[in-house]
Structure 1
Amino acid sequence: MSTDRSRPDLDDTTVEGLGKLSEALETIEQARGQLYGFHQHSGKADLLLQDAVELLRKAGHTQLADDLDRDLVGRNVIADRWTFQIVEDYDATYWSVFRALDERARTELADGDRHVYEARMKQRERTKGHPHHEAGPVLEE
């Protein structure tokens, strides 16, 4: 890693390209978080559904409870998949590949430095010498 994370040795187009790649990865991370939220919400809904089935059965609505239990409790959310399988497939076939290629790009082009675009932005936008505008770790004053 360079001591100056704004990497003055790199051309602007490379830095901009790495910045867009980083932004894309951050968006993928958000999508993955939403997918995990979907997984957790679906699982919670299934547990609540089971409680509803039990209460409806207890209240004497046996046919409806049986239909809900048979047709909905534990049902695949898409063909052949529960939500944990969707998460696992996403991680294995897309997320992990995206992360690996992002790391490759950073390693090949910027010696592994992350957020070079943002480091340059910080250098441009901060007020040098002003409190709370310090360069911070491994950025040059």
Structure 2
Amino acid sequence: MNQHQDGPDHDHRRPEGVSDTTVEALGSLSKALETTERARGHLYAFHQLTGSADLELDRAVRLLREGGHDAWADRVQQEILGRNVIPGHWTFQIVEAYNRTYYEPFKDLERLALADLVDGRDHLYEAEMKEARRTVGHPDHSARPDGNGSRQR
């Protein structure tokens, strides 16, 4: 079986004339964006955890009042409940600013670079790494998810 029957699909083969350096550069650009995706996930976790903590303060204030500690309940309510996490910002505003200022422009730039340099084909670096590392003909090393050479389970 030749590589085009058993190798990567069309969208994961490098276009004619694209250099190794270009494929590696785009792989690096994509890896950086993937790292940014992870950072963004942590930012959403920060947003949700901080929001959950703020909501739990309602319970703390109620219990402090029930326990006869009105001064402490007032202090928690006035000083911490609903407080900005950085000047002028709740966490949702940080998430929005990050998305608008950094994440979306980065994602758009990566998409434009792929479109301009490799006809929009994504993950070429990884596809070529997979092709170099797989054992052709082995049922668990198929090139594509379309069942070509894959074991039916």
Deviation at 1:3, TM superposition (A): 1.3
Deviation at 1:6, TM superposition (A): 3.0
Instruction: Call closer, same or farther: CA 1:109–1:69 in 2, change over 3 Å.
Output: same
**Do the aligned partners of 1:16 and 1:117 also contact (CA within 8 Å) in 2?**
yes
Higher relative contact order (CA 8 A, sep 6+): 1
**Which consecutive unaligned segments of at least 5 residues does structure 2 have?**
1-8
Deviation at 1:137, TM superposition (A): 5.0
How large is the Cα RMSD of the aligned pairs? 1.8
**Which consecutive unaligned segments of at least 5 residues does structure 1 have?**
none
Instruction: Call closer, same or farther: CA 1:52–1:4 in 2, change over 3 Å.
Output: closer
Could you say which residue in structure 1 is the equivalent of 2:53?
A: 45
* Aligned length in residues: 139
Please say if 1:3 is aligned against 2:19: no
Q: Which amino acid aligns with 2:97?
A: D
2 CA distance for matches of 1:62 and 1:54?
A: 9
Q: 2:125 aligns with which of 84, 102, 117?
A: 117
Could you say which residue in structure 1 is the equivalent of 2:92?
A: 84
**Do the aligned partners of 2:24 and 2:125 also contact (CA within 8 Å) in 1?**
yes
Divergent runs of 4+, >6 A = none
Deviation at 1:62, TM superposition (A): 0.3
Q: 1:68 aligns with which of 68, 76, 93?
A: 76
Deviation at 1:18, TM superposition (A): 0.3
Percent of pairs with identical residues: 53
**Do the aligned partners of 1:6 and 1:123 also contact (CA within 8 Å) in 2?**
no
